[in-house]
Amino acid sequence: MFKYLLLFLISFVLTVVLLVIFRKISLKKSIFISKSGVPYIGGVAIFLSLVSSYLAFLPFAGIKLPSEIVTIFIFFSVLALIEFIDDVKEFSLKVKVIIHIVFILFFLLYAKKMQIYFLPPWANYFVSFLWIMGITNAFNLLDISDGLCAGVALTASFSFMAVSFIKADFVLFCLFTVLSGTLLSFMLFNFPPAKIYMGNSGSHLLGFLFASLSIYGDYATLDNRIALFAPLLILFFPIIDTFILIIMRLRKGIIPLKKSNDHIFLYLLNAGYTRKRSLVKVYFVNLLWVVSGVAVLFGLNPLFVIFIILAAFYTFRIILNARLQSPIT
């Protein structure tokens, strides 16, 4: 296990170095600066650290990349370039949606699709498209406050890391080890008050990576079919947050991808909770869901039942309490 710990530390340190360098360049050259004066170039550092650490480690570990992972990395790099241009020029909402649709359609021509046995091939293609489109944008929509998107992503990464270890998939285990080290490092700079933001080139990349790699992984077995829901449970908080956001915006007559205050986190803030206390509440609920996602690998066991009940209860509780107390209409 020493080499995996070393991989984690390398990705952690490399990300720190890149974040310090990019932050200094951004402030010195007055580029990629948000209205609040915080640089938003963290996504580039995340991308470079993740790719370089992972690819450099593979020969050392004697791991050969499967063609499906190579495909994911190629499209991951293309998306990184697209989102970097978006951070520079700020595409319109219409252009963003068109780019994402075309990008995902092309990706699914070459990548592994969902393989739900009772669905025909076209339906698996359609569900795969919705999954990638939804998760990619869910993480972008979640990036509304210091430490929120990064914290949820870090928990999800550790969970997929555990799942990969349990399933003995060391290709994914190494990848999520690198991602976990990278995100933990980023959290040092992004936790309130943030010193750097990830920008579109970070949040969209994280969403795409989780979506595509969760399709690549194998979860269900003949003895435990419900393990198929492991990725859904691990990523459930960004999913439910996006679902609520879409419902509330449609009720207001707003296009779902346009900005409004209809996030669970923002409801908590407007209900009077401090930023850090709101983060803790979100982290707690998210943790319950990701533990449920890992526990489901072992079937309908007591740990899974307890955590899924607690996750559902506290999710409903914070949504209801925050919504009732919040002055947002």
Domain finish residue from 171, 200, 218: 218
107 & 45 share domain: yes
Mean pLDDT value of segment 196-219: 93
Mean pLDDT value of segment 157-165: 96
Q: How far is CA 102 from CA 106, 208, 210, in A?
A: 6, 14, 19
14 & 76 share domain: yes
Could you tell me if 133 and 179 are in contact, meaning their C-beta atoms sit under 8 angstroms apart? Answer: no
Q: If we measure between CA atoms, which residue out of 131, 291, 94, 109 comes closest to residue 215? A: 131
Domain finish residue from 218, 233, 260: 218
Strand partners, 33: 39
136 & 31 share domain: yes
What is the rounded average pLDDT for all residues in the chain?
90
pLDDT tens per residue, range 109-131: 999 888 777 778 889 999 999 99
pLDDT at 261 > cutoff 80 = no
pLDDT at 325 > cutoff 60 = no
17 & 116 share domain: yes
pLDDT tens per residue, range 162-191: 999 999 998 999 999 999 999 999 999 999
Query: What is the structure's pLDDT at 255?
Result: 76
Is the previous residue joined to 120 through a cis bond, with omega within 30 degrees of 0? Answer: no
199 & 231 share domain: no
pLDDT tens per residue, range 235-257: 999 999 999 888 888 887 877 76
Domain finish residue from 168, 189, 218: 218
SS3 string, the chain, reads: CHHHHHHHHHHHHHHHHHHHHHHHHHHHHCCCECCCCCECCHHHHHHHHHHHHHHHHHHHHCCCCCHHHHHHHHHHHHHHHHHHHHHHHCCCHHHHHHHHHHHHHHHHHHCCCCCCCCCCHHHHHHHHHHHHHHHHHHHHHHCCCCCHHHHHHHHHHHHHHHHHHHCCCHHHHHHHHHHHHHHHHHHHHHCCCCCCCCCHHHHHHHHHHHHHHHHHCCCCCCCCHHHHHHHHHHCHHHHHHHHHHHHHHHHCCCCCCCCCCCCHHHHHHHCCCCHHHHHHHHHHHHHHHHHHHHHHHHCCCHHHHHHHHHHHHHHHHHHHHHHHHCCCC
26 & 69 share domain: yes
Strand partners, 39: 33
pLDDT tens per residue, range 24-71: 999 999 889 988 899 999 999 999 999 999 888 877 777 788 999 999
**What range does the domain containing 299 cover?**
221-329
Angstrom distance (rounded) from CA 217 to CA 172: 8
132 & 257 share domain: no
Q: Return the amino acid letter for 47.
A: F
- Domains: count for the chain: 2
Q: Any idea of the CA torsion for 254, 258, 261, 264, to the nearest 10 degrees?
A: 100
Binned at pLDDT 50, 70 and 90, residue 263 comes out as confident
Mean pLDDT value of segment 12-25: 96
30 & 176 share domain: yes
Binned at pLDDT 50, 70 and 90, residue 289 comes out as very high
**Encoded tokens for 220:** 């269900």
pLDDT at 259 > cutoff 70 = no
252 & 200 share domain: no
213 & 232 share domain: no
Query: What is the structure's pLDDT at 301?
Result: 92
CA angle 52, 189, 243 (to 5 degrees): 90
Q: How far is CA 327 from CA 145, 266, 272, in A?
A: 19, 11, 10
Could you tell me if 41 and 65 are in contact, meaning their C-beta atoms sit under 8 angstroms apart? Answer: no
27 & 159 share domain: yes
73 & 167 share domain: yes
What is the model's pTM? 0.93
Could you tell me if 67 and 9 are in contact, meaning their C-beta atoms sit under 8 angstroms apart? Answer: no
pLDDT tens per residue, range 62-108: 778 899 999 999 999 999 999 999 988 888 889 999 999 999 999 99
